[in-house]
Structure 1
Amino acid sequence: MDVYLEGKQKITLTQADFKAQGGEGAVYVKGATAYKVYNSAGSVVPEGKVRALSVLNLPEILRPEAMLTDKNRDPIGYAMRAAPKGYPLCQIFPRAFRDRKGLTPDAALELVRRLQAGVQHVHEQGLLIVDLNEMNFVVDETLDNLYFIDVDSYQAPGFPATALMDSVRDRHARGFSEATDWFAFAVVSFQIFAGIHPYRGKHPQWKTLEERMLRNVSVLNPDVSVPGACLSFDVIPSAYRDWYQSVLDGGQRIAPPQGAYGAISFAPRMAAAPTSASFEIEEMRDYGADIVDFVNGLVITAQGVVIGGATVLGPDVKIGIAPGGTQAVAAWPENGYIRFYDLQRDRPLETRLAGDSVMSSGGRLYFQQGGSLLEVDLVALPLVTLASARPVANVMPQATQLFEGVAVQDVLGACYVSVLPRRGESRQVRLAELDGARIVSASYKDRVLIVIAARDGRYDQYIIRFATDFRRYDLRRREDVASAEINFVVLDSGVCLLLDDHGALEIFARDLDSTQYQRCEETGLDGDCILLKNGTQALFARGAKLFKFGMREEN
Structure 2
Amino acid sequence: MKLIAENRGTVILDACHLVASGGEGSVYAKGGEAYKLYHQPRDLSEKIRLLQAFAHPGVVHPRGALRDEQGGFVGYWMERRHGTSLPNLFAEAWRKANHFGAAETTKTVLAMREIVSFAHSRQALLVDANEFNWLVDGTTPWVIDIDSWQVGPYQASALMPSIRDWSATEFSEYTDWFAWGIVTFQIFIGIHPYKGIHPAFGRGKLVERMIANASIFDAGVRLNSAVRSLDEVPTRLREWYRATFQEGVRTLPPATLDDTGLASPGYRRTYHGDAVVSVTQLSSPLPPAAGFPATYVAHDRMLRIGGRLFAVVNDSDRGLIELDEAGIVRTSWPVMANATVFFRTAGLSNYLGQPYLLTVADQVNIFPAAFLRAQKILDVFSDNGIFAIVLAQDPRTALVSRYLCRLEAGQWRAIEQEHTEETFINAASTGSGIVGYIPGNGELRVYSSKTFAQHQVQSAAVKAEMILEQLNGQIVFRSGGLMYRLQVSARGA
TM-score (norm 2): 0.88
**Matched residue, 1:443:** 381
Residue segments in structure 1 that go unaligned for 5+ positions in a row: 289-298, 300-305, 307-311, 318-329, 332-338, 341-349, 379-385
Residue deviations 1:164-207, cap 9 Å, x none? 01110112111111111111111011112222211112222223
Aligned sequence identity (%): 28
**Matched residue, 1:410:** 350
Cα distance in structure 2, aligned partners of 1:387 and 1:3: 38
- The answer to whether 1:481 aligns with 2:420 is yes
Corresponding residue to 1:530 among 450, 467, 478: 467
1:535-554 matches, within 5 Å, as: 539-542=476-479, 544=481, 546-551=484-489, 553=491
Q: Hey, which of these two has a bigger chunk of strand by percent?
A: 1
**Matched residue, 1:3:** 3
1:138-217 matches, within 5 Å, as: 138-140=135-137, 143-207=138-202, 208-217=205-214
**Matched residue, 1:501:** 440
- The answer to whether 1:123 aligns with 2:63 is no
Cα distance in structure 2, aligned partners of 1:280 and 1:487: 17
Secondary structure of the residue aligned to 2:328 is: strand
- The answer to whether 1:511 aligns with 2:450 is yes
1:76-475 matches, within 5 Å, as: 76-82=74-80, 84-140=81-137, 143-207=138-202, 208-266=205-263, 268-274=265-271, 279-284=276-281, 287=284, 299=286, 306=287, 312=288, 317=289, 330-331=290-291, 339-340=292-293, 353-361=297-305, 363-370=307-314, 371=316, 372-378=319-325, 386-422=326-362, 425-447=363-385, 448-456=387-395, 457-466=398-407, 471=410, 473-475=412-414
529-538 vs 130-139, which moves further: 529-538
Residue deviations 1:284-324, cap 9 Å, x none? 25757xxxxxxxxxx5xxxxxx2xxxxx5xxxx5xxxxxxx
State the aligned residue count. 483
Residue segments in structure 2 that go unaligned for 5+ positions in a row: none
Cα distance in structure 2, aligned partners of 1:543 and 1:170: 41
**Shift in Å, 1:114:** 1.0
Secondary structure of the residue aligned to 1:161 is: coil
Contact 2:126 2:148 in 1 (8 A): yes
RMSD: 2.9
1:533–1:147 CA distance, 2 compared to 1 (3 A): closer
Contact 1:201 1:219 in 2 (8 A): yes
Cα distance in structure 1, aligned partners of 2:55 and 2:412: 49
Cα distance in structure 2, aligned partners of 1:271 and 1:353: 44
**Matched residue, 1:327:** none
Secondary structure of the residue aligned to 1:231 is: coil
1:47-66 matches, within 5 Å, as: 47-66=45-64
**Shift in Å, 1:523:** 5.7
1:367–1:450 CA distance, 2 compared to 1 (3 A): farther
**Shift in Å, 1:544:** 4.6
Residue deviations 1:347-399, cap 9 Å, x none? xxx65654333333554322313433122224xxxxxxx44122231221422
Secondary structure of the residue aligned to 1:284 is: strand
1:474–1:67 CA distance, 2 compared to 1 (3 A): closer
**Shift in Å, 1:443:** 2.2
Cα distance in structure 2, aligned partners of 1:170 and 1:125: 22
Cα distance in structure 1, aligned partners of 2:147 and 2:469: 44
Residue deviations 1:14-69, cap 9 Å, x none? 1122121122000112233221111113xx46223223334423132122332222
Contact 1:94 1:229 in 2 (8 A): no
Cα distance in structure 2, aligned partners of 1:26 and 1:357: 24
1:523–1:463 CA distance, 2 compared to 1 (3 A): farther
Cα distance in structure 1, aligned partners of 2:155 and 2:32: 29
Cα distance in structure 1, aligned partners of 2:183 and 2:247: 18
Secondary structure of the residue aligned to 2:78 is: strand
**Matched residue, 1:12:** 12
Cα distance in structure 1, aligned partners of 2:59 and 2:65: 17
AA in 2 matched with 1:12? I
AA in 2 matched with 1:210? V
Cα distance in structure 1, aligned partners of 2:165 and 2:454: 40
Residue deviations 1:126-146, cap 9 Å, x none? 111111210111112xx1311
**Shift in Å, 1:527:** 2.2
AA in 2 matched with 1:51? R
Cα distance in structure 1, aligned partners of 2:410 and 2:298: 33
- The answer to whether 1:24 aligns with 2:24 is yes
Contact 1:17 1:29 in 2 (8 A): yes
Contact 1:505 1:523 in 2 (8 A): no
Contact 2:378 2:424 in 1 (8 A): no
Contact 2:277 2:461 in 1 (8 A): no
Contact 2:383 2:433 in 1 (8 A): no
Secondary structure of the residue aligned to 1:228 is: coil
Cα distance in structure 2, aligned partners of 1:48 and 1:489: 51
Cα distance in structure 1, aligned partners of 2:332 and 2:201: 50
Secondary structure of the residue aligned to 1:529 is: coil
1:45–1:153 CA distance, 2 compared to 1 (3 A): farther
Cα distance in structure 2, aligned partners of 1:23 and 1:498: 34
Contact 2:5 2:66 in 1 (8 A): yes
TM-score (norm 1): 0.79
Contact 2:129 2:143 in 1 (8 A): no
Contact 2:367 2:412 in 1 (8 A): no
Cα distance in structure 2, aligned partners of 1:85 and 1:533: 28
1:267–1:534 CA distance, 2 compared to 1 (3 A): closer
